[in-house]
Structures are given as C-alpha cells and as structure tokens.
Amino acid sequence: EAGVTQSPTHLIKTRGQQATLRCSPISGHTSVYWYQQALGLGLQFLLWYDEGEERNRGNFPPRFSGRQFPNYSSELNVNALELEDSALYLCASSFSAPPEDQPQHFGDGTRLSIL
C-alpha cells in the first residue's frame, strides 16, 4: 500500500513569492491534515480537510490556505512568503473523523526554504 506522498521534497523561494505544496493521501483516506514543523517549535497544526471541505485551521494567518480535490489530494498554498515560513511542512491522512482516535499517517514532508 502506498503511503502519503508529498511533493516537492524541497522548495526554495524568496520573500514575497508564493509556494504550492502537494499531498496525496493513502488510498481510502478522506481526511488530509497539514502541519508546520519549524525549528524549535515542534509540530503545529495548520489545516484539516475532509471530503473536500476545510474543517478546521490552526492559528496561522490567512496567507496560509489550501484546498482538497475530489480525489482527496490536497494543496497547501502560502502567499507573500516570509523568512519565518522556512520549515518542514508535513501532510497526514486518515479515515474520516470521528472516531477521535483515528491515527494519522504522515508523509515525508516538503522542506520549504525562504531566502
């Protein structure tokens, strides 16, 4: 069974540019989650999509947005990039919630570097 796949592996941008990160969930999973793993800050929840709808978002500004497609893959878009956006962005997928103990399966992440 293929796991969660993310692309690209690495992405280098400059301040003010826009970045698009992509995620394909495990087959059968309808929920997709995005996390930011910044140095020293641990993992922070960004967005949750389920059945094509945004269900919840973390404490991030509106320039972080995304969408989920009919095939349940997802995009994360970051506009007006800032230096502090440099981080590893992880995507995870699971079967549709609830139950609350549905474990999430993570991709290997996209490393976004802002110069």
Partner 1 sequence: GNSVTQMEGPVTLSEEAFLTINCTYTATGYPSLFWYVQYPGEGLQLLLKATKADDKGSNKGFEATYRKETTSFHLEKGSVQVSDSAVYFCALSKNTGNQFYFGTGTSLTVIP
> How far is it, in rounded angstroms, from Cα 20 to Cα 76?
6
Does residue 76 belong to the site contacting partner 1 (CB under 8 A)?
no
Site stretch for partner 1 (CB under 8 A), options 12-20, 22-30, 33-41, 75-83: 33-41
Q: Which is nearer to partner 1, 79 or 104 (CB)?
A: 104
Told to check if 70 binds partner 1 by CB under 8 A, we report no
CB of 63 to partner 1, least distance (A): 20
Q: Applying CB under 8 A, does 89 fall inside the site for partner 1?
A: no
CA–chain centroid gap for 69, Å, is 14
